[in-house]
Amino acid sequence: MSNITLKQLRYFEALARLGHFGQAADACAVSQPALSVQIKELEMRLGGPLFLREPRRVQLTHLGIEMLERARAILHSVDELEDLARAAQSSLQGQLRIGIIPTIAPYLLPAILDPLTRAFPDADIHIRETMTPVLIQELSDGQLDTAILALPISEPWLSEHPLFDESFVLVRPEGEATLPVPDPSDLQKMRLLLLEEGHCFRDQALAFCNIPASQRARTLDGTTLSTLVRMVEAGFGVTLIPEMAIASETRSAQVSTAHFTAPRPSRTIGMVWRKSSPLAGHFQGMAAIIREVQGTL
């Protein structure tokens, strides 16, 4: 039992999370046979199987389920020790893993990456773009250091730091540019195009329009804001997009945009990180840079 290594725990956690030997090996940057050997050695030292091997995936055994929570706690503690050492340096060094949601990434990243790189020249910045629930889980699992998303998140273990607010904008066919801007009750009667389930922006748009759950089947779903704008251009309905997306998404589309009257629908963009992270001071510096850059856009 005393011979269990951190390498084995990391391989075990990756396999438990991904459920596939090949994917886990890729995530750990090792060959599949090397990962398999370490998993077998770990099982021998624990005295029982951690996984049920199936043709296309693996599943945790009861022992594996019990082991996973403890392994993650150990790995988190080790990661925080490493972060403590990094935080003691005059500049942030090593890999910096930043998560960001898809309705922010294409519009904010081009403006902030260069300033962040100049401010943290010794950091190896990695960007992970995915939806909010995945980002929160990966922050919890220690796979991300910080994330940029829509607030609030309201997780007691996360520290939330607002960056800026932005309005939602109505996008409708070009021929409707002179029509009055509809209010939320009017939008309920229109064919509303929204992002698919899982995007927080979808939930925010539905909340503004106050669409009952019984009527949500009438909405049409898209995978990206670009898709929604093109569907509007083709006459399929109307949509809402965040203000920062207007220039990119409507530049070449024959659509019109309009701001709602007060109170305008909006969202707060912010950064979150684990309250226990020793890198909080560096993250606060990052947040200040992003606020400054956003103020010039």
Instruction: State which of 85, 111, 146 marks the end of a domain.
Output: 85
281 and 135 housed in the same domain? yes
- pLDDT computed for residue 219 by the predictor: 63
- Greatest Cα pair distance, the chain, in angstroms, is 74
150 and 22, same structural domain? no
Would 91 be classed as within a structural domain? no
Domain with 31, as residue range(s), is: 6-85
Neighbour count for residue 60 (Cβ, 10 Å): 18
Tens digits of residue pLDDT in 92-102: 788 899 999 99
pLDDT value for 110? 95
CA distance 39 to 12: 6
Last residue of a domain, one of 85, 108, 127: 85
pLDDT of residue 144: 93
Residues 180 and 208 in one domain: yes
The overall average pLDDT reported for the chain is 89
Q: Of 270, 42, 35, 253, give the one whose Cα is nearest residue 166.
A: 270
Give the CATH number for residue 240. Answer: 3.40.190.10
Q: Is the pTM of this model over 0.85?
A: no
Distances (CA, A) of 139 to 12, 98, 102, 221: 18, 10, 17, 28
Provide mean pLDDT across the span 276-293.
Answer: 92
Percentage with pLDDT > 70 across the chain: 95
Residue 1 scores a pLDDT above 90: no
Calpha distance 21→6 (Å, rounded): 18
Residue 15 and residue 62 in one domain: yes
Local confidence band at 147 (pLDDT 50, 70, 90 cut-offs): very high
What is the distance between the alpha carbons of residues 72 and 75, in angstroms, rounded to a whole number?
5
Quick one: CA torsion of 173, 174, 176, 182, rounded to 10 degrees?
60
- Number of domains forming the structure of the chain: 3
Q: What is the pLDDT of residues 100-121, one digit of tens each?
A: 999 999 999 999 999 999 999 9
In a domain, 59, yes or no: yes
Helix, coil or strand: residue 151? strand
Whether a cis peptide bond, with omega within 30° of 0, leads into 121 is no
Strands 192-195 and 123-129 turn out to be unpaired
Domain co-membership, 155 together with 173: no
Q: How confident is the model at residue 215 (pLDDT cuts 50, 70, 90)?
A: low
Residue 126 lies in a domain: yes
Count of CB atoms within 10 A of residue 199's CB? 23
pLDDT tens digits, one per residue of 60-90: 999 999 999 899 888 888 887 777 777 667 6
* pLDDT interval class at 186 (50, 70, 90): confident
- Provide mean pLDDT across the span 188-208: 86
Sign of CA dihedral 267, 271, 276, 281: negative
Query: 85, 114, 132: which is the final residue of a domain?
Result: 85
Residue 53 lies in a domain: yes
Ramachandran angles phi, psi of 96, nearest 5°: -120, 110
